[in-house]
Amino acid sequence: MSQNRNRQQERGIYICGLILLGLLAFWLGAEHFLGLEFSLPPCVFHSLTGLYCPGCGGTRACRLLLSGHIFQSFWYHPGVVVAAALYVWFMVSHTIESLSKGRLKIGLPYTDKFLYLEAAVIILQCFVKNLVKILWGTGIL
């Protein structure tokens, strides 16, 4: 592990992760117990061009992942699964490190490489989806 870890930055990311978890719990609770359904408007880029934007499929991928359909989620938007895996790994490892009061130093160190990985996955999936649509005239979403 790197000796140059920015613990304050990692703590901030951890707190943001807890807030995200709370929002997710609220959203799922509102859908399940109150029957509310949250949705987004159609993609403007896709409506205007017929091509997929880098985020197309993301909402469906999130819903599928939260329903336990990992492979279907990956099909719609691999970036969602990659981000979720990094999120779980980061949050679980930092929770264990925090609960052990630092005795178990297993917290996943933050690195900008995670952002570059996610950006590469998003760009690649957008390119592949649009290539399939252009070459074979069929949408995969």
Q: What is the pLDDT of residues 47-77, one digit of tens each?
A: 999 999 999 999 999 999 999 999 999 999 9
Q: What is the pLDDT of residues 78-121, one digit of tens each?
A: 999 999 999 999 999 999 999 998 899 999 999 999 999 999 99
Q: DSSP string of 113-136? A: HHHHHHHHHHHHHHHHHHHHHHHH
Domain boundary assignment for the chain:
7-136
Residue 140 CB contacts under 8 Å (≥ 6 apart), including other chains: 75, 129, 132, 133
Task: Name the band, by pLDDT with cuts 50, 70 and 90, for residue 5.
Answer: confident
pLDDT of residue 31: 86
What is the reported pTM? 0.87
> Within the chain, where are the H helices?
7-34, 44-49, 58-66, 70-76, 78-99, 113-136
